[in-house]
Amino acid sequence: MSDFFRLKKSDAQLQAAIDKVAFFDINPLNLVFERELVLKNQDYDPFFIYPDNGFDFENVQAELSAVDAPESLLGTIINRKRDLFIDKCEMLKNRGSKKFGVFSRKVYGIPSKRVLEHAASLLPLEPVEEKSDIPSSKAVSMIQAEMNHYGFDYSVVAKRINSGAMVLPVRKKVLVRSDFLFSEKFVKRLVAHEIGTHVLRAENGREQPFSIFFHGFPDFLSTEEGLAVYNEERFGLLNNDNLRDYAARSVAVQMCLSSSFSGIYKYLLGLFPEPTAFRIATRVKRGLADTSKPGGCTKDYVYIDGYLKVRGYMENGGSLSSLYYGKLGIEHLPVLQDIQGLSRPRHLPRNQSFKSLLSF
């Protein structure tokens, strides 16, 4: 068997295993109840309850361990992704315990001094107000129309989620927050961030000969979210509130390593209204049961980290279209020239999207 077909086999084995891993299992089931207790007492540290495990950890880890790609640039990347997901399984298996935070640091890392300094420079920005009068139902229709324009058979549906929108490429679905009023600029921002970045990278990746371009290279998340923020900025959709939110997430990640939920929440109340403070504190303390303990989910610094990387890449003459071969990181670009059968990205973001939304 040639190395190409051995790589294809390893890639398919990896895809089959990681498709069973559900990251959303770290979201607490009792969030509404615990929020009411926090509102009554700012010093209260929530005790989070999680759903039953959505997959058999031992079987998935055994499937991952069986992946052994041949020695090559892409083979090394596939094997690195295998190891990363073995750690991710351990992270999810340890929801509720302090080990969750240990494995979160292995999977996502922690913010650098550069990221924290940039985040600190953004927090003092003046908040802004946007007129929010677009109901979820209309936002769904606007985003669905954009999907249809690209020719993607995704469905866009309103659902009770904490963020404004969420993309599920495997299910070809976009979730939009229900019972919510959006500003016009917010909807455009969702198009740039969710469709113009996450969906387009996924759909270009789906057309490549290796599925790792679709489900993501190891450590692709920083470039993924950084590119989404960069797209918001280059289309003139990034305002002070967005920047402060991304900055606060990075600071909260650093705080979660040693602080309780209540310590992070009270710090954020000095910067944001209660819903935002609660949301950001929850994002970094999810994964723990007893949130008075140190540790948590360290993922959220990737927005600032990735933005700085993508901005630096573009300022140094980088090609935006190269980032759309699939869900890969800037550091993976050199491997592209060594992979047989790659297709140039067909789907790229377009400024016309935002003009068409105005007349919807």
- Average pLDDT on 20-31 reads 88
Q: Which residue has the tokens 């003139």?
A: 236
Query: Does residue 144 contact residue 136 with C-beta atoms inside 8 Å?
Result: no
Name which of 216, 209, 221 is nearest 170 in CA terms.
Answer: 216
Question: Going along the chain, which residue ranges are E strands?
Answer: 132-135, 155-159, 165-168, 173-177, 181-183
CA dihedral angle for residue 249, residue 255, residue 256, residue 259, rounded to 10 degrees: -140
Q: What confidence score (pLDDT) does residue 56 get?
A: 87
**Which residues are CB-contacts of 82 (< 8 A; sequence separation ≥ 6)?**
14, 64, 65, 67, 69
> Quick check: 316 pLDDT over 70?
yes
pLDDT of residue 1 exceeding 60, the answer is: no
3-state SS class at 238: coil
The alpha carbon dihedral of 52, 160, 253, 106 has a sign of positive
**Residue-averaged pLDDT of the chain:** 93
Specify the pLDDT at position 24. Answer: 78
Flag whether pLDDT at 360 surpasses 50: no
Model confidence over 318-353: pLDDT tens digits? 999 999 999 999 999 999 998 989 999 999 997 655
pLDDT band at 158 (very low <50, low <70, confident <90, very high): very high
Greatest C-alpha distance within the chain: 65
Question: What gap in Å lies between CA 278 and CA 252, rounded to an integer?
Answer: 11
Q: Among 1-5, 181-185, 220-224, which is the least confidently predicted range?
A: 1-5
Q: What is the mean pLDDT of residues 180-206?
A: 94
pLDDT for position 3: 82
Structural tokens at position 147: 């999907």
pLDDT 10s digits, 163-187: 888 999 999 999 999 989 999 999 9
Which residue's structure tokens are 């969702």? 190
Residue 182 has a CB neighbour count (10 Å cut-off) of 23
Cα–Cα distance for residue pair 169/153, rounded to 1 Å: 11
- pLDDT for the residue numbered 129: 85
- Beta-carbon contacts of residue 300 (< 8 Å; ≥ 6 apart): 249, 250, 252, 253, 280, 283, 284
Mean pLDDT calculated for residue range 271-300 = 97
Position 274 confidence tier, pLDDT thresholds 50, 70, 90: very high
> What would the mean pLDDT of 33-48 be, rounded to a whole number?
97
Q: Give this prediction's pTM.
A: 0.94
In tens, the pLDDT along 43-64 reads 999 999 999 877 888 899 999 9
CB 217 within 8 A of CB 332: yes
Tell whether the model's pLDDT for residue 156 goes beyond 70: yes
Q: Band of the pLDDT at 357, cuts 50, 70, 90?
A: low
